Structure 1
Amino acid sequence: MKKFKNLIGALLLVFISCSDNGTQESIQENKKLLLKSIQEISPSSGLSTIFTYDGFKIKEVSTTGINIGPKKITYAYTGDLITQENGYVGDILYFSNEYTYENNKLKTAISKITNGGTIFPPINETKLIYNYLPENIVEINSYTYSFISDWEQSQFLPKVKVYFNEDNIIKRETMDSDGQIISRIDYEYDNNPNIYKNVIGFNKLFSTNDYTNNFNRHFNIKDINNANNVIKFKETINGFITESEHYNYTVNLDGYPDEKRSYWSSNQYLIEKKYTYY
């Protein structure tokens, strides 16, 4: 009888051990979350954005809101690198971004806007060329299409310098054609994972501002390459602070944001976003 009790006890220990291992494995897998939706709680927008994936690769983003019709972005990969984004209004193609890479780093980004959803006129194209400098600085040179010389440096936004600290952008400087700093944006971060952290290829994409392209403004898709979440944003133009915001987050059990509130520098509440995950 004693041997039988010992056998039962051993079996229970094995069962409990297996159950614990299974639970731990499940929790560990769930920590690699993928963003499912962004819901903007705002009287002026009510924007809702939905993300769909193929594994951990982004497949499509769609959105609807009070002031805009249905829009979507589709993504194409080469290996684990995003090489194209196409933006649609309804079923009409309005925008395309093409990316190339060198040594696994973003080298060029060409943005194209259609003429009423029909063709991409060359005059509607812009090109960014990325140069990687020492001390975690990336210089982005902007070009517009010219019928005379194909590409010529943009007069509106010729050059931007982007400063990194580890995997976060901490500063952007916009320069004129003479190399003088026109404006500067500074960022601070928390220690929690960015909502886009586990999307394959997003960590490679960044641009002259928080959005990889203007079409993404309709989707709340910004700061996709950073490892953590922006908590402070300050813009300075010609030595004067022109815009300042700070952000508060609540996080889920895995540390990812499930709610974000944006405030003016005066602590006046501005807008709220809610996040869900797969």
Structure 2
Amino acid sequence: MKKFLCLLGALALSLNSCSSDDSNSDGESSTNALPTKITLTTVEDGKSGSLDYTFSYDGNKLKQISLSDASKYVYTYTGDVITKVEYFRSSVLISTDVYAYENNKLVSKITTQAFNSTYQDKLTFVYNANGTVNANQSQIRDRQEVKYDTTTLYTFANGNIVSAEYNDGLKEKTTNTFDDKKSPFVNITGLKLLLDLAQVDSDDYQFDFHSANNALTSVTVNYDADGKAVQTLSVDYKTKYNSNNFASEVFAGDANDSFKIQITY
């Protein structure tokens, strides 16, 4: 089971959806709540596992996300925008992402691997007149930028990423629907500006840090070189909420393959 909520990934589940209110959640006294811990429980081929994410802050600015597998993400701000994210495993630096902005919009992300700094991966963001955004891929080698044809086209509505279309010659498009309740991450300073790039990535799950609300459904369609749809994969989410309408639990799956996240504020 891989990346159930990744906007660019594929999901192999087709499930029934429902939403319900749930007042049994920590820290629901404030509409300015911040997530302090998220527990991910997964079942793959009937075998279960779990992973904890612990969030620490300076006010509403995210300082660090520590995982129970001894990895962590460390966030650096310049003013109110995130300009660097460092990824560590067992206290060893693995990679560094550097973000640049113009007019309070993300314009580039450059990723450097700690053990292979001879090249850097780059994303350049183009803001289109119709409100969509292209993230164009390139690579920097010996200070020379090599541009690729690979791009991701983001489409937005009501503060959410409603579709992400990845194209590297073959196209994959994920379309999402959302509820009208609050995402756990809406009060974290600067996180939304990173689109879906602030995702903390494990083998099983990725967070959508951009969207203001919570996904109800995701449908991913893969196309062949002629533009014909060759595979459609769907997932529906069952979400519970606390008394302030923040998501407190999300579930998708069945007895054999599933994931569940539980959010503490």
Report the counterpart of residue 199 of structure 1 in structure 2.
188
What TM-score does the superposition give when structure 2 sets the normalisation length? 0.80
Q: Deviation at 1:45?
A: 2.8
- Structure whose residues are more often helix by fraction: 1
Report the counterpart of residue 17 of structure 1 in structure 2.
none
Q: Is the 8 A contact 2:240 2:249 kept in 1?
A: yes
Report the counterpart of residue 226 of structure 1 in structure 2.
211
Whose relative contact order is higher, 1 or 2, with alpha carbons under 8 Å and at least 6 apart? 2
Q: Give CA-to-partner distance per residue, 1:128-175, whole Å, 9 cap, x none.
A: 00010022200111002234x7111236xx111111113111111122
Alignment of 1:121 onto 2:117: yes
RMSD (Å) for aligned C-alpha atoms? 2.4
Report the counterpart of residue 244 of structure 2 in structure 1.
254
- Distance in 2, Cα, partners of 1:230 & 1:30: 22
Report the counterpart of residue 241 of structure 1 in structure 2.
231
- Distance in 2, Cα, partners of 1:135 & 1:173: 15
Bigger radius of gyration: 1
Change (3 A) 1:268 1:168: farther
Report the counterpart of residue 20 of structure 1 in structure 2.
none
Among 187, 190, 197, the alignment partner of 2:179 is 190
Q: Is the 8 A contact 1:136 1:165 kept in 2?
A: no
Q: Is the 8 A contact 1:143 1:151 kept in 2?
A: yes
Q: Deviation at 1:246?
A: 1.0
Report the counterpart of residue 16 of structure 2 in structure 1.
none
Q: Is the 8 A contact 2:28 2:243 kept in 1?
A: no
- Distance in 1, Cα, partners of 2:107 & 2:49: 35
Identical residues among aligned pairs (%)? 23
- Distance in 1, Cα, partners of 2:72 & 2:148: 28
Q: Give CA-to-partner distance per residue, 1:210-249, whole Å, 9 cap, x none.
A: x546x63369552101110111111111113342111111
- Distance in 1, Cα, partners of 2:206 & 2:75: 13
Q: Is the 8 A contact 2:121 2:140 kept in 1?
A: yes
Report the counterpart of residue 274 of structure 1 in structure 2.
262
SS of 2:201's equivalent in the other structure is: helix
What TM-score does the superposition give when structure 1 sets the normalisation length? 0.76
Q: Provide structure 1 residue ranges, at least 5 long, that are not aligned to the other structure.
A: 1-26
Q: Is the 8 A contact 1:63 1:219 kept in 2?
A: no
Q: Deviation at 1:113?
A: 1.4
Aligned length: 230
- Structure whose residues are more often strand by fraction: 2
Aligned-partner residue type, residue 55 of structure 1: G
Equivalent residues in 2 for 1:165-184 (5 A)? 165-176=157-168, 182-184=171-173
Q: Provide structure 2 residue ranges, at least 5 long, that are not aligned to the other structure.
A: 1-26, 224-228
Among 123, 135, 159, the alignment partner of 2:151 is 159
